[in-house]
A and B are shown apart, each in its own frame.
Chain A
Amino acid sequence: QVQLVESGGGVVQPGRSLRLSCAASGFTFNNYALHWVRQAPGKGLEWVAVISNDGSNKYYADSVRGRFTISRDNSKNTLYLQMNSLRAEDTAVYYCARDVVARPPYSGMDVWGQGTTVTVSS
């Protein structure tokens, strides 16, 4: 079945780095754009980044631009989020999600992973 599975979350000290992965299965990976979305404890959803189907278009939230990098390996059906210079306010559940379309303009996220928790704390 169509599935996204995140991994790589954990507890990390402020200023350190972490890389999240999102493994896809059950669909043609390179036909879809992919997003990262996060949700801090008890808070609403925050969009983090998006990457087009071929990796040529990437956009970021202001809060992570310059610190986070989204990428994908279409040969491995895997999406990544490299997170550097982590801050306490980056603590959240991180979801990867598939867009309905491949390239901008994007439409919405129809397949979501179960989420992976990132805790930034000393």
Chain B
Amino acid sequence: DIQLTQSPSFLSASVGDRVTITCRASQGISSYLAWYQQKPGKAPKLLIYAASTLQSGVPSRFSGSGSGTEFTLTISSLQPEDFATYCCQQLNSYPYTFGQGTKLQIK
């Protein structure tokens, strides 16, 4: 199975900050990577798919990049509603796997 490792696992930041979350795959996954945002008690929300394609309706302050084994999710200017847990998922090969998550907290 392909393992996805996110870093950091916890991140403290302030409104207006630029933050980057990294997702590393244990083997190459081309660009078959998605990013999700999840808030407590809620279903995940798709932010990015195909590594860098912004899902419709998602603010442009979110962006994704990378291919192969290293990927990043960047939030250019944090807003209060962005404090949540972020998770990557690979869809290159079965079984599809998720990263362990990055909890973004208010500093």
Bound-state CA distance A112–B100 (Å) is: 19
CB of A24, distance to nearest CB on chain B (Å): 15
Residues 49-94 of A at the B interface (beta carbon under 8 Å): 50, 59-62
- Range class of the A interface residue count: 20 to 34
* In the complex, B89 has a CB within 8 A of chain A: yes
* Given A44-B101, A45-B89, A62-B95, A107:B50 Cβ within 8 A: yes
A sample of 5 cross-chain residue pairs with beta-carbon separation below 8 angstroms, ordered by A number, consists of: A44-B99, A47-B95, A50-B96, A106-B91, A110-B46
Q: Which residues of B contact A (CB under 8 A)?
A: 1, 32, 34, 36, 38, 43-46, 48-50, 55, 87, 89, 91-92, 94-101
A residues contacting B by CB (< 8 A) are 37, 44-47, 50, 59-62, 95, 97, 100, 105-110, 112-115
